[in-house]
Chain A
């Protein structure tokens, strides 16, 4: 499927140009320009969904022109059913982030909004790049605005957090760069990701490449044990930064596994799937317990994100075991699709949770759970929404959080009972840490005069959280459209993976 106009380029460069315009325009016009740009980008990205042909697994809306002819590097864009939902998620979330920062950011508003818009364009670029160097350029460039967002508008330990964030991610990705160059020579001079998919590699080569990719993507996801940058970054980032980080940036790691690791190194993925499954289960169980003892709201949600992303990677890498047990790649698709649904759903839910924290933080300037108590008495509408999001974070049926987790758990049962057993602990742990936090914050008597003085949501905040609640509900009750668009692509991916390269 394709359109008359280069839709992917438009949704990548429109926000970038909007961001540059903001840097020139100055403070006063910053908010409206940012909002208009982000809404325009979102509206323009909708045809990606409506004109999407879900029957084919080939790349759609393809744009290709030479960029650096010396190395056969092309400006090559295109999306399939795996990347399309993530692009829509990105453009959707950015609108909410711009709205959410409307009042809470008071200094250097233009630079703040510009950073978010430029980052939006770069993130969409990551999801749609089909050339490895183009992908890498977007992937690294994305670090710059995030680095500035945490460092300039973040909390007291922002400098430590942002430098840690930058160096961690940078360290992970440079090894990926070496792997990409290596494959460039192996493929006889092509940086096309699709050529890499077809590239024949020995198991040994695959394992080295797999490890290089793993370093990049595991840091981004983040997987245990390289997750430690995330709680710091989340805690110190301003609300908008946390939302983008949790809702989109983490997904880029998951997306990387699907676009690079599995199809380029299928046999190494098979060989090392035990490692990823182990790391994922540790993330689910151990990080779940870690989340339980947090006293800082943002930290708690950050750890909860790590646990939920553990589900994503678990879903992606149990496919080999499912296939060994059942002999059917149809069944295995459940794991990957569950992982993708979980990514989108976690995008909504974690974004919403951070926005809820932001609402409280704007009023009380504290993220400490102990400083709250009985908030529901003063903010009933807010409390209702927050409880709803907490329930979906815990995986309540009927919300989007349930769908992905359920699919992955069903998939794990087919793979190995114990995988499912450990994965399912999240239903208890997730409920425990989220609901306990909600109980301590929202319910009971009003504990202090600061809470006494709280005002309920204003119209803007209500709209933001309301939209997210609707999204969570729709995806929970009717996930079919999302699953349908990705079905052909996932089936194709698994077919490719099953064929192997040896």
Chain B
């Protein structure tokens, strides 16, 4: 007997729309000459904006599960998708400048970028091991191809190869862990697994075993120590526009994946995953911050900085309660925005055939252009967690989450390493403000790029002065 109910397609309108548009753009792009490549760009942006409108108009006050338990729409998915769209618009906008400057403006960038976004949307809305894996692979495969996008660059090809091999291992780990849990609980559906774990009928041993593999897979994707090795190489080797992509939007999706898998599916195993996350978090904050000091390449430095931020983000998740998840969500969204701005600055500073990715390229920026130096200053202080930027409130909130569960020692370790971290951020400011510029070449950039990066900086400052509304949204997402 076939038990088939028609899925509620309205829930997935945004995903379906994006998929249709990807196909349209893919075909259309074949018929465009290089001079008209901008049409692809504008269509891409239009797709993201339209998807945002669709998501915004969906009712996200209640959580709806559809497609036979495969797909979920709730407060969290709505907020994360909306943030994802904002970040994606920024990514496409900044990347265009880079692609034009480096002569890489190809339609494939946008198609792959949109495919990645679709993957992330599916991850955010997944309610089944299969959907989450599907979304993750859609994202990962797009990213592998994007990293190798500049096929004439040996470093980029090397980075893509590394990324592919390590990413495949991570996916394998994740899948293996999923299969264990499937074996123990007899289902791929998150609700059923969660109930089964709570009942305690399935073997605890197998579950814990599967959990370890899932955590390893997640840690790989997030870039948490000791599974962080790929991150600096990929950040460094990939074209900056792709680094910008990897460093911002996928963090939001990775956060969703962690929440869906750990917080929603396995709350019953919280004591187990909490301990593992504590180790990952302390190691990431410590090692990320310390090694970042030794970097002379800005992209590499930001890679290690990402690792330390992942550690902070995990602090919120490991708290294992709504307040902690909201804190981690706020951290993720604001970090994605800050990271977007930072890599946007690298793109703004670079010229044809010249990547502004060495720290020394930022010498005397205040002389060359005080405004962009100021924007970069805001971004760096935000990453360091100095008020009045939003980075401070993000840190404040995750620290509150861990102090609330009586792990004050963890907060002390975190703040101690964040002081060490402050050093390499203020070193950038030192270069921009205290040193003399070696060049007086004007900073090139299209008008929309300049406007966007200015807004990006102001947004980081404004959210730091008035964080209330975004915080309220993050709290509501888990209410």
Contacts and interface: CB of A to CB of B under 8 A. Distances in A.
Given A148-B433, A163-B427, A166-B426, 8 more contacts: A143-B386, A147-B429, A159-B434, A162-B434, A163-B423, A174-B419, A178-B399, A185-B404
A217 B434 CA distance: 28
Interface in A114-159: 133, 136-137, 140-141, 143-144, 147-148, 151-152, 158-159
Interface stretch (A33-41, A62-70, A360-368): A62-70
B467 interface: yes
Interface stretch (B59-67, B188-196, B408-416): B408-416
Given A70-B475, A133-B396, A151 B415 contact: no
B282 to A, nearest CB: 15
Interface residues of B, number: 35
Nearest to B395: A177
A81 B472 CA distance: 37
B400 A184 contact: yes
Contacts of A185: 400, 403-404
Nearest to B468: A68
A181 interface: yes
A477 interface: no
Contacts of A167: 419, 422-423, 426
B412 A170 contact: no
A177 B471 CA distance: 19
B71 interface: no
B434 A171 contact: no
B392 A137 contact: yes
27 contacts: A23-B370, A23-B374, A69-B472, A70-B468, A70-B472, A70-B475, A71-B400, A111-B366, A111-B370, A140-B386, A140-B387, A141-B386, A147-B426, A148-B433, A151-B434, A163-B423, A163-B426, A163-B430, A167-B419, A174-B416, A174-B419, A177-B399, A177-B415, A181-B400, A182-B403, A184-B400, A185-B403
Contact of A178 (B377, B411, B467): B411
Contacts of A49: none
A329 interface: no
Nearest to A174: B415
A166 B404 CA distance: 29
Contacts of A178: 399, 403, 408, 411-412, 415
Interface in B232-291: none
Interface string B406-445: 0010011001101100110011011001100000000000
A136 B387 contact: yes
B381 interface: yes
A323 interface: no
Nearest to B401: A181
A177 B396 contact: yes
A388 interface: no
B422 A166 contact: yes
A181 B411 contact: yes
Contacts of A163: 423, 426-427, 430
Interface string A177-209: 110011011000000000000000000000000
Contacts of B396: 133, 177, 181
Interface string A231-264: 0000000000000000000000000000000000
Contacts of B429: 147-148, 151
B433 A144 contact: no
Interface in B351-398: 366, 370, 374, 377, 381, 386-388, 392-393, 396
A232 B29 CA distance: 61
Nearest to A142: B387
Contacts of A274: none
B399 A68 contact: no
A443 interface: no
A181 B403 contact: yes
The A contact surface, by secondary structure, is: helix
A175 B426 contact: no
Contacts, number: 89
A137 B386 CA distance: 8
Q: Which of B370, B393, B434 has the most CB of A within 10 A?
A: B434
Given A70-B471, A151-B430, A181-B399, A175 B423 contact: no
Contact of A171 (B386, B419, B472): B419
Contacts of A140: 386-387, 392
A152 B399 contact: no
A159 to B, nearest CB: 5
Given A111-B370, A185-B403, A175 B430 contact: no
B433 A152 contact: yes
Instruction: List 4 A-B pairs, minimum CB-CB distance, nearest first.
Output: A174-B415, A137-B387, A151-B434, A171-B419
B259 to A, nearest CB: 19
Nearest to B406: A185
A177 B415 CA distance: 9
Contacts of B433: 148, 151-152
Contact of A141 (B387, B416, B422, B427): B387
Given A70-B471, A177-B396, A152 B434 contact: yes
Contacts of B386: 140-141, 143-144, 170
Nearest to A143: B386
A158 B434 contact: yes
B381 A68 contact: no
Nearest to B399: A181
Nearest to A185: B404
Contacts of A170: 386, 419, 422
Nearest to B409: A178
Nearest to A183: B403
B324 to A, nearest CB: 13
Contacts of B403: 178, 181-182, 185
Interface string B447-464: 000000000000000000
A177 B472 CA distance: 22
A136 B434 CA distance: 27
Contacts of A159: 430, 434
Contacts of B387: 136-137, 140-141
B427 to A, nearest CB: 8
Contacts of B415: 174-175, 177-178
B416 to A, nearest CB: 7
Contacts of B471: 68, 70
A158 B435 CA distance: 11
A437 to B, nearest CB: 30
B74 to A, nearest CB: 20
Nearest to A182: B403
A162 B423 CA distance: 11
Nearest to B403: A181
Contacts of A158: 434
Interface string A317-358: 000000000000000000000000000000000000000000
